[in-house]
Structure 1
Amino acid sequence: MNTAFLKQKLLLLCFLFLASITQAKEEITIGLIDTFDPDFYLETFVPTVEHLQKELPNYKLKIIEISPKNIIEETEKLKPQFLIASAGDFSTLMSLKGAQQIATVKRPQAINAEKAVFAAFVVKNDRKDLQTLRDLENKTAAAATETDFEGWLVPLGEIADAGFNPEKFFKNVKFTEHQFPDVLTHLKVGNVDVGIFGPCQLERLAENGEINKSDFRVIGLKDPKELCARSTKMYPDVVFCSMDGAPSQAVKAITLSLLSFPPQQNNFEWIPASSFYQVFELLKSLKLGPYRHLRETTVKDFLAAHKLEIGLFFALVIAVLIHIVRVNMLVRLRTEELKASIAEQHLIESRALENRERLEMLEKSRVISQLSSMFAHEVKQPITNILYYTSGLKVLLEKLKIKDNQVEMVLDKLREQALRTADIVDHVRSYAKHRPSKEVEFDLIPTVLRALKSIKEQERKGVEVRTVFPSESISAKGDPFEIELVVLNLLKNALSAVKDVSSPEVTITITENEDKIRVHIADNGPALSDEQFEKLGKPIQSKKSDGLGIGLSIALSIIESHGGHLTFSRNQPNGLIVSFSVEYAANKENHNG
């Protein structure tokens, strides 16, 4: 069957499948750069699309095909939000169009996401004249397509690394559209000297009984101990990436869906690749993608090509000088463009690093939630036993008619702390199980003071902590324990910020507006840089030795669940003010009345 027809048929089936289950939903456009063989569509593309549609029922997926020969022009014209592309095409788009990796395919035979695909130069075993890569020079070859990453560009990179000109290495190349069976057929009947096979293709053919492996040999074998023979370096596999301007919520949804893709059911998985350095080096050696400008003629080449004419015609010296000036201007212009490109690449790498850190923090939050649930479950019973023992001890003392005020006070304090601990455990279990917070009417001022009292004296030592309250009692609505937790977290952050200043001060202020109660915690700590101020409230790697980096983000989540907002502003002359709002227990008039 014609390859193009098969791919169009598969794309049409995907489109009909998606159209049959989507109605008036937000549309996500996924572009597919057509450089893959039919096996990819059946084994990788279709399972991925089906998984995305299953995991993202609120989105309508639209699949469009991108020509591999004009990917820059096609992406500008069709404007896909996401792309499925080879590592080579992705690296080009990352450098020139700001594409960002979401995940990369990893199959079981791959070492990792960065070392997944490669190629093998395969010859018939009876060709004793072909032993090394040099022996293949000026020979004929068969390959899939000239845009195939592992089937053509990767082998060319290996030829370039060996010191040969990859564009003139083979005498003739037959492009067959797909590797199997055409490349194998040309090699078997002797139409070509060498066939270029993709990752583990030779081994799969032998396993399926299509060939006798002893009839063929791999040139330039890298490591005989590896399961699949290869002649080249290893590179990342297929990449799912987002384009510049893709909706952030859609990027998040796609990312979470791909990372949850079940590998055990599909014989592959989607995971982030940490580096595409080898791919950029490959494109540079082949002068492709972001390095296509290296193919331009230099001044040295021009002078070498025209030195005879220059010697014979002295009158052309002026023209040559003008040409040199012009070339120098072009070189300067190109240098500026390269600087801009490098700066953009650094920005993209920085964003990629930020995304990786964000994913690490999401994973950390998930682990913390699981550990919290386990801890809450295990500690609940001992706390209950403590309560039973204190109650039993009080009953025993009454029966024995022993009256000791100090013992009774200790038992009351012990019971009070055990009940508080049990309350904390219940909240931990609620967080772990994502239960909604309880809403009760409570007095905000004692709650704030209780948080202040919970801080160790050592942490407050030397710090002047002031409170400014409009009245002795303010009735608020929400979960007092969670509000106390937020205030405690913000106070600890403020105390930590001022520990190295000469006259440390922390001020807790409560103000009453028409519709909200505002709590402000201000410190006079060191001034924050713009970068530090921008990251406030986002999950980051904590700089504290005992910190997890998610305290402020948890506080933000709690306040937003109470219908409020956590805001940050700079204190004058230096320091930080963190504010949040909570709702009145009733409307303002009832509160004042």
Structure 2
Amino acid sequence: MRRFLITCVAILVVLFSAMGVESLIMGDHNSILRQTLTSPVKQFIDGSRINSNQVVVAVDAQIDPYMQRTYFKATIDAIDKTVRNADKFLVLKFLDRETISAMLADGEIDFLISESDFYASLAFEDKIKAIAMLWRAQAKSPSYSAASTIVVNAENEKIYTLTDIATGSYRVAATSSDSFAGFTIAKEPFAEKNLSWQAAFKNIVFTSNRNPLEVLNAVKTGNADVGIVPACFIEQVMIRNQAHLSDYRVINPQPVTEMACQHSTNAYPSLMVSYRNGVDSNYILDMTNTLLGLKLPFGTTWSMPENTRELYDLMYHLRIGPYNNVTYSAIYRTFSENRTIFITAIFLIVAGFFYNLIISVEVASRTKALKRALAEKDRISKQQEQTNEYISRLERTGIVGQMSSMIAHELKQPLATVSNYSRGLLRRIERGSADKDTIVKVLKEIEYHTERANDIVDHVRSYAKPHEVKREEHDLRDIVAKTVATFEKSGRTTVPVIVEGERHALVEADDWEIELALLNLLKNSADAFTEIHPAMRDEDEDVIRIRIEDHEDTWWIRVIDNAKLVDESFTEQFFQKLETTKSHGLGLGLSIVSSLAERHAGRVWAEPNPGRGVIVTIELPKYQPIEEKI
């Protein structure tokens, strides 16, 4: 017995000595030997519960620290009080999601406080059920308590839309890559608009301590171009005078019907309290009663859980949570994984086919070409003579010829409108659904467009007679307003027209001709939007602007659209006679605009709009009273 005791003491001395030596060598207390010897104790503390009086509450470690600081103290204190009243004691564990999933499977957790996305993943696997949702005072219901706010500096003149951010040219700041409201939800509007959120956030930097206030300060000081913070955070720090909403501009602002604070995305559930399947129903009832009567800071409360369908839709669109490994058909997956090989093979097959086809056609065509050479030469010569004669005739007729072409060009719209109104009225009369007010309204529209067609004919006929240009004092703003009203009545497009610039711009001109020129430019801008594929358009950003600018002795009337992307080579051909950029155009509209500008001692030119679209500018001399001319 004595020998056994001596042996045990010697072993303990050796072990403790080894631990001390290793700690000195390692320079800390986390040596391998110490961990090996102490791990059983740690496992005993953190391991499975053997005491039935414990209530284990796990906390999702990915919950933002500011959320924990704001809402957890009152919540945990209330839970602890309830547990103690039941002669039990609370065990609180802050764990990563992988550990929580494993412990739930082993039945080692009773309740879980987590972000809603983690709850949805676990509920999808039927591991937990919800008993409470966090309900912000600003939210219409608990289902709309979490969203993201995307902001830029209020003085930033480059970033106005999600499309601008999606270029990937800007620095982005956020709290953490695993923050639900501080980053994950911010991907949603990009996916919704078919924009790449991966490209938008390729230059993203996360804060060191997951503090959204650092994100706001980075945007304010210029260390970041774009910031992502949880919705309602700006309003909360404004109460403490730590930030001001006026310093920032919210990108993609959403209506406040669901959440009464600034946000850029749809709203979703926030924090969730849930229980593991198999937990005592008395525990669940006590926990539910505790949470539902609890008051939290900023008017926040815990509420009964609601439908989380929209949350699953978000996770599906972003391919996260239970949809992280969504698979497609084998054919699609195989093609996606070997896209380069398939495209190369298809290209080679098509190229080989066309090469053989070209060789065969070339052999046959060369034989026929020898017989047709002289006949083709004569045909081309005659065609050139006819073309030269036609061009010469157009040049001789000058403005009269252009105005004649303008009749067909300009009468098409009013005549088509009259025809549509007439057919519509006839159908109503045949059905017996035309009342007096409808008939009067339609007849007035027909009268208006008929008078307009008559004015066009009379005005164009006058060009064949010797006369001077009818020039009177007019305000360009009035002419532009009349033109926009006429254009909107035509129903040619749903793109809004905005008038900007000088409000009092006097010119000496024929108002009808200026209106005609502007109408042609507005039609061209409207047609440009129709040439864009619907998938590439964002109707919320489409707009046509008419801007009046003051330039010393002249006024500039600029018609600006943001339709398709163009370059200078495209705009240089605008005012060439009988040249058109439209698939079905005649090349008359812009030529008429140029002639009308020259008749008023002005000029017109086109240039690409920075970003997207075209800017067409008409320059006209300012009105000078007679006394100033003398």
The TM tier, using the shorter chain, reads 0.3 to 0.5
- Normalising by structure 1, report the TM-score: 0.46
Over alpha carbons, which structure has the higher Rg? Answer: 2
- Normalising by structure 2, report the TM-score: 0.43
